[in-house]
Structure 1
């Protein structure tokens, strides 16, 4: 799901609350788990640790 935090102030508040106070975008979640931003997502992929949370989300 994608939320437009620029146009929807309530969505921005939800994002900040769920991400532990982070206000930058994107903030990426896999299910209810906060991954972080784009850099953190790329680091998970480089470390070979992205497939597991994605697989758990689809099962």
Structure 2
């Protein structure tokens, strides 16, 4: 298995979009650093400051902000996600 860029995903526990995004990454056997912001105002503030968005999930591949679940799936449909993930 090839090396992938680090993936960071800000989530909340019951968000269906967070679950979908994590499932896609897991189906590709991509590890990720999950930062749960449910009850952590500081982490949610960090996410908002980094992304400019208040919604979850917010996903980074390496240093590049991808966006949320819809953007992640759009990359997959376009055949670009594997390229973004590759080290």
Shared fold by TM > 0.5? yes
Which of residues 36, 47, 50 is equivalent to 2:81?
50
Unaligned stretches of 5+ in structure 1? Answer: none
The structural deviation recorded for 1:31 is 1.5
The structural deviation recorded for 1:23 is 0.6
Q: Per the alignment, in what secondary structure is the counterpart of residue 39 of structure 1?
A: helix
Larger strand proportion, structure 1 or 2?
2
Q: Which ranges of 4 or more aligned residues in structure 1 deviate by more than 3 Å?
A: none
Does 2:42 align with 1:10? Answer: yes
Q: Describe how 1:33-44 pairs up with structure 2 within 5 A.
A: 33-44=64-75
TM-score when normalising by structure 2: 0.59
CA distance in 1, matches of 2:43, 2:35: 6
Higher relative contact order at CA 8 Å, sep ≥6: structure 1 or structure 2? 2
CA distance in 2, matches of 1:10, 1:31: 22
Pairs aligned (count) = 55
